[in-house]
Amino acid sequence: MMPRVARVLFFPLAPGPGLSHVGACVAVADELERRGHETVLAYGGSRPELVAGWTRRLERVEEIPYERTVGDSAAGWYEPGDLERLTRGDLELIERVRPDVAVVDLRTSASMACEVSGVPDLSLMHFLRLTAWYREPDPWRLRARELRRPQRLPHAFRRWLDRDPGGGKTLRAALGAARVSLGLPGTGSPWEGRLVACTTTPWLDPADLPPNWRYVGPISWSAGGIGPEPDRGSRPLVVAVESTTGPSPLLPRVLRELADEPVDLVAAAAGRESIDDLRLVAPRARIERLLPTTAWLEAADVAIVEGGYQTACVAQRAGTPLIVVPHRADQWAWADRVERLGSGVALRQPVAPGAVRRAVRRVLRDKRYREAAERVGVHLQDWDGARATADLVEGLVAS
């Protein structure tokens, strides 16, 4: 029996120029549209003209100021009253759109709005490794890696002394206060009692999942035909992709260290307003704002990324070895994964001068990285996160 046609409202977390969570929602929305459903995307970031081209219907909402989300901690995301105001705005949109189901990608205010309105919702969880359910496959090996990097000890020591790592306690306090002001029970996590789609696999992220959580596999998405298509020369192709959330030290470092290497270097700098200064650093490199990410990462011999969910998943699904240079807490997950799986190299802060150049040479020279990455790619071919998530949405509609 075919499920009835439904209207599905998507709420991605999208402060500033960031597109990763938007892309995951767009991929699931495209799958639901192919099945005949109607989708609406709620968006509060700074790129509405770009995002509008990826969805049939775009609705604007208020979002967290981008400058508060920069860094490793979520403690400063919400000032007093912010969560309640955002929730009421999301509730107004729900009342206007009248969805049958909502899909929420880490936008806490939307989860509470669905709870207040009674709209059934599905939550997307990209960072299972950062939850209490995750089980590190080899914790002693992880600790040994830290001890082998003496330059990391000051950072690790500060992390151990942090009374609120990642800002979790502060965020939970803000959530509790908002829930009380909205007439909801004061305790409870954003995922308590709701269906959660974990966009990873048991092999990548083993965990003891609660009954309402499901593995669906990575949701792969690319910006489509934006930018040039890949063209391979005779030299190794190195593709560097900077996070869409904003400029970081990654691309300037990559361009400086690889400018004179015997490789074809291509870079995407979607988080920057201007790329003219980058082109001066490495005149022979090809630098674009946006690229059809999937095609370029499939063609690459090595991909250099910060460890953001979308780019890392696309590269590993393509069997491309990774060099991960994480700058934010959620990016550490892919840094640890590639080391554990042997599918790449992780360069954690502080990164020594020349480290990126040496890592590229190492990955190109040692075929074991390519072989391990291809094993990961074969594993991921059996998982289609967008399709599995759409199945869960249709299950909510049917129930």
User: What's the pLDDT at 3?
Assistant: 58
Q: What angle do CA 194, 198, 201 make, to 5 degrees?
A: 150
- Beta-bridged to residue 238, according to DSSP, are 265, 302
Block means of pLDDT (10 residues each) for the chain, length 399 residues? 80 91 95 97 94 94 90 82 96 97 96 95 91 80 59 56 70 88 80 90 93 94 66 88 78 92 90 78 86 88 88 90 85 86 90 94 97 96 95 94
Distance CA 120, CA 100 (A): 7
Structure pTM?
Answer: 0.89
Residue 1: the pLDDT is: 44
Taking alpha carbons only, the member of 166, 60, 189 closest to residue 112 is: 189
Taking the C-alpha atoms of residue 258 and residue 298, their distance in angstroms, rounded to an integer, is 20
User: Cα–Cα–Cα angle for 199, 205, 211, nearest 5°?
Assistant: 70
Residues 6+ positions from 268 with CB-CB distance below 8 Å: 227, 239, 240, 241, 242, 287, 288, 289, 290, 291, 293, 296
Q: Which residue has the tokens 């995922």?
A: 191
Three-class DSSP category at 141: helix
Q: What is the pLDDT of residue 89?
A: 97
Collapsing DSSP states into helix, strand and coil, what is residue 253? helix
Tell me the residue type at 91.
L
d(CA 30, CA 34): 6
What is 7-218+383-398's CATH number, 3.40.50.2300, 1.20.1250.20, 3.40.50.2000, 3.30.499.10? 3.40.50.2000
Q: How far apart are CA 389 and CA 381, in angstroms?
A: 16
d(CA 259, CA 277) in angstroms, rounded, equals 14
Decide: 210 and 193 in contact? Cβ < 8 Å: no
Length of the chain, please?
399
Element (H, E) at 42: strand 38-43
Q: 237-380 belongs to which homologous superfamily?
A: Glycogen Phosphorylase B; (3.40.50.2000)
302: β partners: 238
Q: Where in the chain is the domain with CATH 3.40.50.2000?
A: 7-218+383-398, 237-380
What pLDDT is stored for residue 152 in this prediction?
Answer: 55
- Distance CA(149)–CA(327), nearest Å, equals 17
Between CA 13 and CA 25 the distance in angstroms is 10
Contacts of 198 (CB under 8 A, 6+ apart): 125, 128, 205, 207, 209, 213, 214, 215, 216
According to DSSP H, which parts of 42-190 are helical? 48-52, 82-97, 108-117, 139-147, 153-161, 168-181
Output the pLDDT for position 74.
80
Q: What letter would DSSP give residue 45?
A: S
Give the DSSP H/E element, type plus range, for residue 303: strand 302-305
